[in-house]
Structure 1
Amino acid sequence: MSYYTKAKFFTSAPDIRHLKDDSGIEVAFAGRSNAGKSSALNTLTRQKNLARTSKTPGRTQLINVFNLEEDRRLVDLPGYGFAQVPLAMKNKWQQALGEYLQKRKSLKGLVVLMDIRHPFKDLDQDLIHWAVDSNIPVLALLTKSDKLKSGKRKAQLLMAQEAALAFMGDVTVNTFSSLNRQGLPELEKVLNKWLALDEKTADEE
């Protein structure tokens, strides 16, 4: 059974100032409102409704924290790039996002989810630059990979891997599909490393 089935909702916060305890290890998930972030979290944790998927992208305006264990967490950051939100609110959230990446000590990795057909838009790039500047490793996850045929999928992956070199940081790129779970083992492998699960297993043995 996957370690990630342990995930349980812990708390919601309107901004990073309301996040509790900045200790232990957390991994954050971020992405544009239509990138399939909630679906990816539900697929990862094998829970249908852990992260609520909404018919209206951008509905989730809170930071949602899911505990795996007392000292390990998954953090679901609000979707960005949504159209039906006032500009002032967008700017406020972008500022809070940058602050979270720069100041959160327990953050050990960032998964940036992007539709495989439209990777590395401006806000995605901003987010990755912030993370790289803060020495946080990034996994750029190209979602909805089932929408493309194998040849096109490989071509998009290669193109994105090449684009990722420009960030001059620890940025890896993988493909993912919530529909057929393509890329799930690779995602878990990266998360296991960030959450120091290999070390934990060794300690327990």
Structure 2
Amino acid sequence: MGHREDLLEGAKRCLLEKGFARTTARDVVKESGTNLASIGYHYGSKDALLAQAYVSLVEGMSEAFTGEANAGLTAAPGSLERFQEMWSNIIATMREPGSFWRLSAEIVAVGDQLPEARDHLAKAQREGSRAFVALMADVSEDEVTEDAVDTLGAFYTVMMSGLISQWSFAPGTAPGAEQLTEGLRRLIQGAAKS
């Protein structure tokens, strides 16, 4: 591995241990076995490196979203059953001790102090919205229209943000996938009546 990859891996470990606000450039250098100049050369700044490390951690969670370790999503694309299956897999990762989703809550809470990281993550969020739509529809991300990203993808992203907040601050009362699915079912039924 070169310095760029070493920095990214070191930054991931630092984020999981210390979070965004408490991780210093020196922490990353110590963890990665590189030097301070490497951060600027490869990433521009510590905040940009931390943002990229966070995005890399999220991308590494795709198996958790699909449950691939347990044979992937099995319910029909677009169905309420698939919705429940996907959210059940995601919520399972939030139940784990030391869940990395707390980093998402932290960036929301201290984002104004980390503008470069916040801006980088805001751009990455759109691609996350696209991935949600693709996963639910069982299509490639290339097939997801911009309109679908702006509507359905935004809906899933807002749900994810809310779940992260609830599981970070009140895990004992945070909803499960069954509750979310029943809520969606009732919303659909109510909309059909109007």
TM-score norm. by structure 1 comes to 0.30
Structure with greater helix percent:
2
Structure with greater strand percent:
1
